[in-house]
Amino acid sequence: MTELATTESSLDLYRQWATEPIAERPRFSVVIPAYNEEWRILPTIGAIATHMSSFGQPWELIVADDGSTDSTVELIEDLDLVNLRLMIADGNSGKGNAVRRGVLAARGELVLFADADQSTPIEQFEALVAGIDAGNDVVVASRAAAGAEVASKSLSRKVFSTGLSLIVRGVFRIPVTDTQCGFKLFTAEAADLLFGRQLIDDFSFDLEVLYLASKFDLEVAEVPVTWIDAPGSKVDAAKVAVEFLRDLAIIRWNDFRGAYDSENHRPPRT
Amino acid sequence: MEITSDNKTETEVEVALRGRFDAHGTDAFRQRIDSEIDSGVHHLRINLTAVEFVDSTALAELVRGMKRCRELGGDLMLVDPSDPVRVILELTKLVAAFEIV
């Protein structure tokens, strides 16, 4: 069971993580996709690094840049955190592409991907780990499961997410009430399997990953979380809904033609 | 985010924040700070012990408040920031800008 370390302060543990390279396989990898996040990325890294270090277990942070044109990359490079890996993209290819690159490069036994805006505070991490400890391969944060608390979500996002959820559950029979929350935890084996085969580069990649989890009979659980709608969200609810419906059809077609039957991407790590 | 005031004198007050200090809380924070400053209180102690996260808009408000106070001969100090807030102040290089007690 993952618990906070008690012998050292979280500040001491953070400083240790920030300056001493871990010598063993990480227990946890945290992947943050980032596209033009100069205003949000440093507080997010600070919050995540403090919390994840407090467990006293080896962990790594991977920021997968998606072709940012602002100062996101420079800000992260200046941090000089020895256990932070920055993956720089040649151009903007989409959130799914960034998450895939980061997850496949991750070395941890458990791999979390978390949005850069901290809409799901990192303190919810333990709840997802409990789901893995209970025997699941994938645990997703859910804004729709019973017990979830959602603050400041715009009406348009609520309408679209409810509608899409009904379609996903009805058509795809994915037993998850919220496929799109950007806070998901995988075992390393599940991460390699799912992200080694998924193909979609845009916001619908979450749906595709969960579709594949169902296809390959992985155990998936969802956990209600506290979620805060962060201002400056890049989600255009209407546009994403249209793309989502399009991608539903693409996922089905990909499966029909056998595109998921073998690995499409190989983890770059040795 | 909760905002409470304590230990108020004619020139000094401690403002304690609790919860997540982000863009949703900056209006209320600004109103409280400006109200104190406009009433003649130019030495503000912002207690961050119970703040779990600050985003860039919150940091900008703290800087704004500090500048206002200093222009009037006072100061805005940060009191006992929580560990995540202290790390965020370090990463954003603001730890040198404020007096932290």
Structural domains of chain B sorted by starting position, each given as residue range(s) with its CATH number in brackets: 2-91 (3.30.750.24)
Q: Is residue A84 part of a domain?
A: yes
Note whether residue A264 is domain-resident. no
Q: Identify which of B24, B55, B84 has the shortest CB distance to residue A50.
A: B84
User: Which tokens in the block code for residue A258?
Assistant: 């056998």
Average pLDDT of the segment spanning A66-95: 96
Are residues B22 and A10, on separate chains, in Cβ contact within 8 Å?
Answer: no
Label residue B75 by pLDDT band (50, 70, 90).
Answer: very high
What is the C-alpha separation between A22 and A57, in angstroms, rounded? Answer: 10
> In which residue are the tokens 């029909």 written?
A256
Report chain A's mean pLDDT, rounded to a whole number. Answer: 89
SS (H, E, C) A97-146: HHHHHHHHHCCCCEEEEECCCCCCCHHHHHHHHHHHHCCCCEEEEECCCC
Q: Is A177 a residue whose pLDDT tops 90? A: no
Q: What is the spatial distance between Cα B80 and Cα B82, in angstroms, rounded to a whole number? A: 6
* Higher local confidence (pLDDT), A269 or B55: B55
Domain for residue A30, yes or no?
yes
Under the banding of pLDDT at 50, 70 and 90, the label for residue A234 is: low
Across A258-267, B1-10, B85-94, which has the greatest mean pLDDT?
B85-94
Residues of chain B found within 8 Å of residue A153, distances taken between Cβ atoms: none
Q: What is the pLDDT of residue A127?
A: 96
Q: Which of A88-97, A153-162, A202-211 has the least mean pLDDT?
A: A153-162
- Summarised one tens digit per residue, pLDDT across range B16-66 is 999 999 999 999 999 999 999 999 999 999 999 999 999 999 999 999 999
Residue A82: per-residue pLDDT? 98
At B7, the pLDDT band (50, 70, 90 cuts) reads confident
Residue A10 and residue A53 in contact, taking contact as beta carbons nearer than 8 Å: yes
pLDDT, position B96: 94
Would you say residue A41 lies in a domain? yes
Please report which confidence band the pLDDT of residue A232 belongs to, taking 50, 70 and 90 as the band edges: low
* Beta-carbon separation of B22 and A228 below 8 A: yes
Provide the number of structural domains found in chain A: 1
Q: Which residues contact B78 (CB under 8 A, 6 or more apart)?
A: B46, B48, B62, B89, B98, B99, B100, B101
pLDDT of residue A173 exceeding 60, the answer is yes
According to DSSP, the residues that pair with B3 across neighbouring strands are B17
Q: Using the 8-state DSSP alphabet, how is residue A55 labeled?
A: T
- As for the ipTM of the complex, it is 0.93
- Whether residue A266 is contained in a domain is answered as no
Query: pLDDT class for A203, splitting at 50, 70, 90?
Result: confident
Place A245 in a pLDDT band, splitting at 50, 70 and 90.
confident
Residue A5 confidence (pLDDT) above 70: no
**Helix axis angle, A72-79 to A41-53, nearest 10°:** 40
Contact A244, A208 (CB under 8 A): no
Chain B residues within an 8 Å CB radius of A14: 83, 87
Among residues of chain A, what percentage have pLDDT more than 90?
A: 68
User: What's the average model confidence in pLDDT over A158-186?
Assistant: 78
Candidate from A84-93, A233-242, B13-22 with smallest mean pLDDT: A233-242
Mean pLDDT on A200-220: 93
* Structure confidence at residue A160 as a pLDDT band (50, 70, 90): low
> pLDDT category, A84, cuts 50, 70, 90?
very high
pTM higher than 0.90: yes
For chain A, give the percent of residues with pLDDT over 70.
89
So what's the pLDDT on residue A169?
Answer: 73
Q: Which domain CATH number covers A106? A: 3.90.550.10
Distance, CA of A144 to CA of A225 (rounded, Å): 9
Whether residues A79 and B87 touch (CB distance < 8 A) is answered with no
Q: What is the span of the domain harbouring residue A132? A: 10-256
What's the pLDDT score for residue A3?
Answer: 56
- Counting other chains too, the contacts that B54-57 makes at CB distance below 8 Å and 24 or more residues apart are B54/A43, B54/B21, B54/B22, B54/B85, B54/B88, B55/A40, B55/A43, B55/A118, B55/A230, B55/B21, B55/B22, B55/B23, B56/A39, B56/A40, B56/A42, B56/A43, B56/B92, B57/A231, B57/B22, B57/B23, B57/B26
How far is the alpha carbon of A122 from chain B, nearest alpha carbon, in Å? Answer: 10
Instruction: Tell whether A5 is covered by a domain.
Output: no
Chain B contacts in chain A segment 40-59 (CB below 8 A)? 40, 42-43, 45-47, 49-51, 54
Note whether residue A18 is domain-resident: yes
Residue A184 within any structural domain of the chain = yes
Residue A159 in this model has a pLDDT that exceeds 90: no
